Amino acid sequence: MKLTMEHKLNRKVIENFQRSFKCSRFEVRKSFEEARIGAIEAICALHGGSMHDYHNEMNHALRDLCINQRHLWKDEDIRPEDNRWFQFFERT
């Protein structure tokens, strides 16, 4: 059986990243960048290591939020500075 990148990712890190990001962005109403940084800090604190250890998982989690969970975002939730993330993930 051939393993894809999806199988190699730490699912718990992805879930924790998204949980932290969603709380910061949608409940506390922080900016996208503040929520992203807060989620990175939470992952490093919960799982140990540095952001470089979980780069693929965090990138996957953000891509999923921007592309596959678009229904979470209301028009007023997408600020002009957030749009660059959506554009980045739509192109890749």
Q: Cα separations (Å) of 77 from 2, 9, 11, 51, 65? A: 39, 28, 26, 26, 13
Residue 26 CB neighbour total at 10 angstroms: 14
* CA–CA dist 46, 34 (Å, integer): 18
Residue 62 CB neighbour total at 10 angstroms: 20
pLDDT in tens, 7-65: 578 999 999 999 999 999 989 989 889 999 999 999 999 999 999 999 999 999 999 99
Measured in whole angstroms, how far is the alpha carbon of residue 17 from the centre of its chain?
Answer: 6
**77: pLDDT strictly greater than 90:** no
* CA–CA dist 73, 66 (Å, integer): 9
